[in-house]
Amino acid sequence: MNPYFEKLGRTVLERWREQNFSLEVFPELARIAMDEASPSENVDLEEMIHEFLTNDDQPLQGHSGFGQPELVAFNDSRFYIQILFWMEGTTDIHQHEFSGAFHVMQGSSVHSEFVFVGAQSVTPHIRTGELRLKQIELLETGRTVPITSGQECIHSLFHLDTPSVTVVVRTHHDPGTGPQYNYLPPHIAIDPIHADSLTMRRKQLLDVLENLDHPSYALQVNEMIESLDFERGFHTLHHAMDRLQFLGEWESVLAIFQEKHGNLAKRVPATLAENLRRETISQMRYHIDNPEHRFFLALLMNVQNSKDIQALITERYPDQSPNETILRWAEELIEPTDFGLTLLNAAFPETIEVDIDTQFDLLIDTLKHALNESPESNTTTAEYPEIHAVLTSSCLRPLFC
């Protein structure tokens, strides 16, 4: 067992006992303990890994799939300390059934906090409301953040460096604070722990039809949506959306869902569209490893307008013009394909027949205009509205808001 984490655990335990194990004080107590003896300053990561690999005297390890991986560094009946490695990690927007604090031991992350307004339960496992961004900040190495169980702490983390490592001092479970909802902005909360085995098997069977390119795929989903309740229908749409869009059947299937569920379904299209956009950005992490480009992806995923994106770029790079930085990143991220250029998931329109160099200039000019960097480029947007449409329907959409 690593001596630092043994000492940290004993310190937290003694101080918490003095407070009669009050859950209300635990997040701040855990934060103070880690700030007093920061893991980032007191733990040699390589030595810790070596000790864990070669010394059998370790706390009982759990089976959690959270982290890449999760190591349990201290375990008590009331709380434990975990070390979470993140190689490609982007957490869902979520709340917790536990409380405590987390510390950035290595790397950095974009941390977003939210509130869920006007929440209404459809079933015990799915809710509707409006998810609003409360705060977004850059967490550098050495930062400690408290965690409160329940809806008071709805957040997500987009890890910028590989690996990022966080230390979490946390309770096992705070009674009465579940379910531990995940949030699909802007309108849906779901219980990820709820296991509907029938829906799971149906989705797997739809995957079989998709892999076979079976001609009945859309018809089968259509019939399912006509008969399913809201919860199962939503999960089916969520699963099948990408395939239905590819087949050109999405709008017709969505219309059936909306007709069946009326006002309850009004918030679903925007939620599923935003979820697909966020999933697209998250998948880009697997082939984009430049920390600056990952920061750009994190901003595009979590910030809804160019003004706030520019402010966060200024915070991290105070000596650079945010607009010039965005344009530089865009230039670096433009890539050629067999059909022309792409900027992230925005493909240059095939209907515009110009050479590669002109495609490059037109993409950048349209982006410049969106950032108010080059007002005279408005003529480009007017002459080629297809380019503007492609960019605004891609993951770059916040830059045009």
Which pLDDT score is estimated for 45? 92
Which pLDDT score is estimated for 110? 87
Which pLDDT score is estimated for 229? 96
Which pLDDT score is estimated for 79? 97
Nearest-angstrom CA–CA distance, 258 and 243:
19
- CA-closest candidate to residue 371, choices 348, 396, 352: 396
Which pLDDT score is estimated for 291? 85
Which pLDDT score is estimated for 284? 87
Mean pLDDT by 10 residues, the chain (401 residues): 92 97 97 96 93 91 81 95 85 92 93 94 96 90 96 90 91 92 96 93 97 96 96 96 95 96 94 90 84 90 88 91 95 92 93 91 91 60 84 91 82
- Long-range interactions of 237-246: CB distance < 8 A, separation 24+: 237/268, 237/272, 238/184, 238/272, 238/275, 239/203, 239/206, 240/206, 241/272, 241/276, 242/276, 243/206, 243/210, 243/217, 244/218
Element (H, E) at 276: helix 268-284
Coil, strand, or helix at residue 334? Answer: strand
pTM of the model: 0.86
Can you spell out the DSSP letters for 222-251?
Answer: HHHHHHS-HHHHHHHHHHHHHHHHHHT-HH
Which pLDDT score is estimated for 115? 96
DSSP-assigned beta bridge partners for residue 132: 115
Nearest-angstrom CA–CA distance, 156 and 183:
10
Residue 288: partners with Cβ closer than 8 Å, 6 or more residues away: 294, 297, 333
Which pLDDT score is estimated for 378? 57
Nearest-angstrom CA–CA distance, 2 and 222:
56
Nearest-angstrom CA–CA distance, 87 and 338:
31
Q: Tell me if 64 sits within 8 A of 193, measured CB to CB.
A: no
Distance of CA 157 to the CA centre of its chain: 6
Which pLDDT score is estimated for 160? 83
- CA-closest candidate to residue 49, choices 80, 75, 83: 83
Distance of CA 9 to the CA centre of its chain: 30
